[in-house]
C-alpha cells in the first residue's frame, strides 16, 4: 500500500493526500502531460518529491534504498528496455538483475503464453515488433513476481483485441497471486472494466479518486 502526503514535484505534480491500496487494481487516467507517468516514477523512486512524503507499507520511501524498493515494486515504462540476445535471454535478464535463480524453459513458455507472445525462446529479441517487445518486457516483470507492478501504458502499440487479452491476463495474474497492480491507461474500456480504484489526474493534480467495482480478473 502506498500513501502520498503533501507531495510536490517541481511544477509537474501536486498531491495533497492519495492512498493506493494493496492487492487491488488501480487505473490512472488523464490527458497527455497531466502527470500520470510522473506519479508512477515517484512510486518507484526513479525521482523524488521536492516536498512531502511517500510511504510504502507505512515506511517512508526516503529511507528505503532504491534497489531494495525496486525488488518489490517493479515498473514497466512506456518504452521498455530490450537487451541484446534472444527472447529467453530477455526473460531471464530480470531475474539475473534481481539476483533470483533462473527458471525452467517450461516456466518461460508459460510466461510467454500469459502475455500472448508466440515466439521460441531462441528467437532474436531485436527482430520483434514494438508491440511484441512490450509483451516481452511484461513477461520479464511477471517472472519477477513483485509485490507491486507499476505499468505505464502496458498495452501501448497493441490492437484493441490484443490489448484486452493482455490486460485481462495481467489482472488475472495479479488477483490470483495477490499482487498490487497500478497502471496508467489511455483506454476508457480498460479503466471501466478492470479498475477497482480509479484515479484521474488533470493539470498536475489528482482531481478524483474513486473506488469502483470490478468483476475482471478471472473470477
Q: pLDDT, tens digit, for every residue of 108-120?
A: 999 999 999 999 9
Residue 216 predicted with pLDDT over 80:
no
According to DSSP, the β-strands at 2-9 and 51-56 are: antiparallel
* pLDDT score recorded for residue 218: 43
CB neighbours of residue 83 within 10 Å: 14
pLDDT tens, position by position, 35-63: 999 999 999 999 999 999 999 999 999 99
DSSP code at position 69 = H
Rounded (10°) CA dihedral 172, 29, 213, 173: 10
Q: What is the pLDDT of residue 187?
A: 85
Which of 104, 79, 78, 96 lies closest to 140, judged by CA? 96
Q: What are the grid coordinates assigned to 91, written together? A: 526473460
Question: 12: pLDDT confidence band, cut at 50, 70 and 90?
Answer: very high
At 96 the pLDDT is 93
State phi, psi for 160 to the nearest 5 degrees: -60, -40
Position 77 scores a pLDDT of 87
CA distance 170 to 6: 31
Sign of CA dihedral 172, 177, 180, 182: negative
Confidence of residue 214 (pLDDT cuts 50, 70, 90): low
State the pLDDT confidence band at 121, using cuts at 50, 70 and 90. Answer: very high
Q: Answer yes or no: is pLDDT of 157 > 80.
A: no
- What is the tens place of the pLDDT at every residue in 66-99? 999 999 999 998 888 899 999 999 999 999 998 8
Q: What is the pLDDT of residues 164-180, one digit of tens each?
A: 889 999 999 999 999 99
Q: What is the pTM of this model?
A: 0.91
pLDDT reading at 106 higher than 70: yes
With a cut of 80, say whether residue 213 has pLDDT above it: no
Place of cell 510466461: 111
Domains defined for the chain, CATH in brackets: 2-211 (3.40.50.300)
Between the alpha carbon of residue 88 and those of residues 113, 120, 149, the distances in Å are: 13, 8, 21
> Do 200 and 45 contact (CB within 8 A), yes or no?
no
Residues whose CB is less than 8 angstroms from the CB of residue 40 and which lie 6 or more positions away in sequence, other chains included: 28, 75, 150, 152, 182, 184
Amino acid at each position: 500500500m502506498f500513501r502520498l502526503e503533501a507531495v510536490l514535484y517541481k511544477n509537474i505534480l501536486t498531491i495533497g493526500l492519495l492512498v493506493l491500496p494493496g492487492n487491488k487494481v488501480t487505473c490512472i487516467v488523464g490527458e497527455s502531460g497531466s502527470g500520470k507517468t510522473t506519479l508512477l516514477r515517484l512510486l518507484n523512486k526513479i525521482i523524488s518529491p521536492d516536498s512531502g512524503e511517500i510511504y510504502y507499507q507505512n515506511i517512508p520511501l526516503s529511507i528505503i534504498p532504491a534497489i531494495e524498493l525496486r525488488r518489490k515494486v517493479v515498473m514497466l515504462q512506456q518504452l521498455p528496455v530490450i537487451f541484446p540476445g534472444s527472447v529467453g535471454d530477455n526473460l531471464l535478464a530480470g531475474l539475473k538483475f534481481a539476483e533470483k535463480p533462473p527458471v525452467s524453459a517450461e516456466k518461460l513458455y508459460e510466461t510467454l503464453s500469459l502475455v500472448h507472445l508466440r515466439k521460441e525462446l531462441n528467437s532474436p529479441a531485436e527482430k520483434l515488433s514494438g508491440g511484441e517487445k512490450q509483451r516481452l518486457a511484461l513477461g520479464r516483470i511477471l517472472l519477477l513476481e513483485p509485490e507491486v507492478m507499476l505499468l505505464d501504458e502496458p498495452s501501448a502499440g497493441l490492437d484493441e483485441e490484443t490489448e484486452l487479452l493482455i490486460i485481462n491476463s495481467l489482472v488475472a495474474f495479479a488477483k490470483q497471486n495477490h499482487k498490487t497492480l497500478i497502471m496508467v491507461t489511455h483506454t476508457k474500456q480498460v479503466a471501466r472494466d478492470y479498475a477497482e480504484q480509479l484515479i484521474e489526474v488533470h493539470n498536475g493534480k489528482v482531481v478524483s479518486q474513486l473506488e469502483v467495482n470490478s468483476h475482471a480478473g478471472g473470477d
